[in-house]
Amino acid sequence: MKKLVSFIAVTSLLLVRCADMDRKSNSQEVPEKMAANEYKGLGFQPPTEQSVIDYAKKHRKSFEKKGESFKEGMKHARKELSYEADANVVTTLFSTKDNYSKENNEDNVFEIADKLESSKVMPSNIDLDLRFTDNNIGTVKPRYDDKDVTSFGVFKNE
Sheet with 126-133: strands ordered across: 87-94, 126-133, 150-153
Which pLDDT does position 143 carry in this prediction?
54
Across 2-6, 72-76, 94-98, 137-141, which has the greatest mean pLDDT?
72-76
Q: Select from 106, 108, 154, 157 the least CA-distant residue to 129.
A: 154
Q: How many angstroms separate the CA atoms of 77 and 140, rounded?
A: 45
Residue type, 49: E
Which pLDDT does position 7 carry in this prediction?
64
Looking at the whole model, is its pTM more than 0.85?
Answer: no
Average pLDDT of the residues in 60-73 = 72
